[in-house]
Amino acid sequence: MKLVLAEKPSVGRELARVLNCWKREKGYIEGPDYVVTWALGHLVELAQPAAYSDRFKRWSLRDLPMLPDKLVQEVIPQSAEQFDVVKALLGRKDIDSVVIATDAGREGELVARWILKLAGYEGTAKRLWISSQTDSAITDGFAKLKDAKLYDNLYRAAESRAAADWYVGMNVTRALTCHYDAKLSAGRVQTPTLALMTNREDEIESFAGQFYWTLKADFGSFSASLYTDEDTIRIKEEESAKRLETTLVGKKGRIISLETVDKAEQPPLAYDLTELQRDANNQLDFSAKETLDTLQRLYEQYKIVTYPRTDSRYITSDIVATIPQRLRSLSLTPFAPLSASFLQDGYRIDEQRFVQDLQVTDHHAIIPTDQKVDLAKLSKNERSLWELIVMRFLEVLSPDYLYKTTTLIAEVEGSRFQTRLTIPTQQGWRDVARLIGRRSAANLVADDEPFNAALLSLNDGAEVTVGSVKVRRMATSAPARYTEATLLSAMEHAGRLVDDANLKKSLGNGLGTPATRADIIEKLIQNFYVERQGKDLVPTAKGRELVRLAPDLLCSAHLTGKWEERLTHIAEGKEDSSLFIEDIKKSTRDLVKQVITSGETFAPHFKEAKTCPHCKASMMKVVDEIGQNHYICQRLSCSYEEREIKKRVNVVPEPAVVAPVVKVVAKAKEGEAPAVRKKVILKKKPLPKTDGMQAFSLPDDIPGKEAKPAYTWETVIEVVRPSKLSYQRDTRPVAPRTAEDRPWGNRGVSTPIVEEAPTGGGTFADFMKASEDRKKRDSKKKR
């Protein structure tokens, strides 16, 4: 009997189905040959500092740095029940070996190994390494299980990465928080990612725009832009542009160059996770986290795409034989005509840009599986993301986009004009997106001018005349803020930010991994270091202040590059992990020392800030998910938080104004006949009856009469979290007491934390109590 350990329950259930396990128990599924159980992501984590010493329970600069000789693991309390299930299964006498079926990667290896370590398992272990969850992939994977010892170096690299993050993250976070009396966190990937955005914000604020001018001439059959001696269309001085505008009109010149070149644009590369997240953000407005979650469902639940958390944009040669079946799986989708055409007429297999065994490490590119697709089962977001993946897959299999480029250069009075026209000759891979009325997510070569057949009739050396000239004033643009798409690109290509050639190579995969970048962005937002403004990611005042105060080494990509290089060597068996950990401890001591010896103060400049009523520090404004404004004191020793809420307040009706009664007496004139008296009788029209009941109307229902509201709304301050300093003073709004009555040595007159806004009216209970009191007073008077 073999025990199969999956990373998630959903994956475990699929493995159990394929392995013919049907007997469901709590936390596992059993069959004749296999018992399938699962983790819940991580079941085990590195222990918190308090596990090493009671001194570490309290955050204090005196106890830093915290550098235990050896880090230990502990079971995560929230998932302890499932850990006990796995541990009990590992102890069963009929279990002769374990199959590690967690995600095939560095983190997946760590999930399984820590569980086995804490459970005390020392038996035989095999490794399942697959890239898709289809039945055929699972069956083939179990037929080719590998010895788990082959992945020992990968496990050591994963454990070293976790230890490095613990030593640096725990210590620098505590140092920043205690030294600056503010809740601040730092990390190897989080901080340099935040620094990318704060540096961009600094560039935007310091940007000084400049005007420039462009000039375009109309030659009748074509138009062309003026190019300066610097080979640019930008004219720096307005006077030069205006002078050319007045002197060139009507002047003759000649075509000095007319060249037509055949060009080809190759299909884009297949998707890895980061590239897919970029395109989903640009095309579908998905956040990186939303893309990963949706992609995970397409992989686990529907099994129609391959493994999501990949950093490769290529496939291995053994996947080529499966492409026909993957094309057949699209037979019931809008891509059916093109897939059928590929199956009948053949398709492109590019051994340079698609099939590259050496470019695939753990998993190949994200492509469709051979599972039949039922679009009716997909949600709108799931279908949109799936379509992006299939479009890119079919584009990779399509021929090049072919076009002709005609470049014309004319000279008039010593001024050079240039234009370029593009004529498509074969749409190639660009036709794929048109099948479903979509636009390709790939960067397309833009046509400079609409096609004009008259241009083809011109000859080199032909005479041309300037019919009219148009000058436009333009302005240089400030650097754009990061969106999730551009930030993912910057994180992926972080090697461009360092000068060392070796570090550039080690930073080939950038800051973080494809699997963690989405969570890093979300964590920065949750900690109020970054906020979303439309599609832009904007660092907050708190985030900018953190980057200013954090050690420079932690804010650069240099540290990550250095670590990733050494972690790669550990995974390849070229470096001892213990030496790496010793160097990490040394770096931790240096980083903590830099923070503690800093003479800076935490002083963020918040917009729309309030002053804390307890410590007089600035309070940061945060808008919650229902639109309420929260104001949070940034001093950790205070931590006061309040929010603005709308409260309904009864309106006291105004007393009716009674008009004075005016008595009018009519007297007959002398000599006139007495007036005839008339009796007027007013009859009230009865209200209509409905269902046997007499209908009635309220005063507010009278047509033409506007009803006055019985209540209004007022903004009231509500305390969310009291200040930690409030115990030093009596905060209840009561009359002063004697010194003997006041504990904690507070001898002054107490004031409330927040003055309660006055309200009108009262509750029904208040009115009933007032009525009873009035009756008692009346009875006393009668006595």
- The residues annotated with a catalytic role in the active site are 307
- The residue written with tokens 């006393």 in the block is 780
Please calculate the CA angle 308-311-317 and round it to the nearest 5 degrees.
Answer: 90
Strands 97-101 vs 124-127: parallel, antiparallel or unpaired:
parallel
Pair 657, 732: CB distance under 8 Å = no
Tokens of 413: 């009075």
Beta bridge partners of 28: 25, 37
Q: How far apart are the first and last CA of the chain?
A: 94
Phi, psi dihedral angles at 533 (to 5 degrees): -125, 95
Tokens of 582: 């010793």
Cα separation, 261 vs 12, whole angstroms: 57
Pair 295, 385: CB distance under 8 Å = yes
- The residue written with tokens 């420039």 in the block is 212
Cα separation, 216 vs 225, whole angstroms: 4
Cα separation, 400 vs 264, whole angstroms: 6
- Residue type at position 676: V
Tokens of 529: 């270091």
Tokens of 697: 């109307």
What are the angstrom distances between the C-alpha of 540 and each of 101, 352, 451, 517, 601? 42, 44, 48, 20, 17
What is the number of other CB atoms lying within 10 angstroms of the CB of residue 459?
Answer: 7
What DSSP character marks residue 356? -
Pair 535, 285: CB distance under 8 Å = yes
Cα separation, 440 vs 594, whole angstroms: 49
Within 8 A by CB and 6+ apart from 562, the residues are: 503, 506
What is the number of other CB atoms lying within 10 angstroms of the CB of residue 670?
Answer: 5
Helix (H, G, I), strand (E, B) or coil at 610: strand
**Cα atoms in the 13 Å half-sphere on the side-chain side of 282:** 18
Cis-peptide, bond into residue 65, ω within 30° of zero: yes
Helix (H, G, I), strand (E, B) or coil at 257: strand
Pair 754, 633: CB distance under 8 Å = no
- The residue written with tokens 């009231």 in the block is 716
Helix, strand, coil percentages (3-state) for the chain, rounded to 5, are 40, 20, 40
Cα separation, 242 vs 471, whole angstroms: 8
Helix (H, G, I), strand (E, B) or coil at 648: strand
What DSSP character marks residue 642? E
Phi, psi dihedral angles at 617 (to 5 degrees): -85, 165
- The residue written with tokens 């590019």 in the block is 350
What DSSP character marks residue 394? H
Pair 642, 719: CB distance under 8 Å = yes
What are the angstrom distances between the C-alpha of 679 and each of 674, 676, 682? 16, 10, 10
Strands 641-650 vs 711-721: parallel, antiparallel or unpaired:
antiparallel
Cα separation, 402 vs 79, whole angstroms: 57
Helix (H, G, I), strand (E, B) or coil at 222: coil
- Greatest alpha-carbon pair distance for the chain in Å reads 134
Pair 521, 487: CB distance under 8 Å = yes
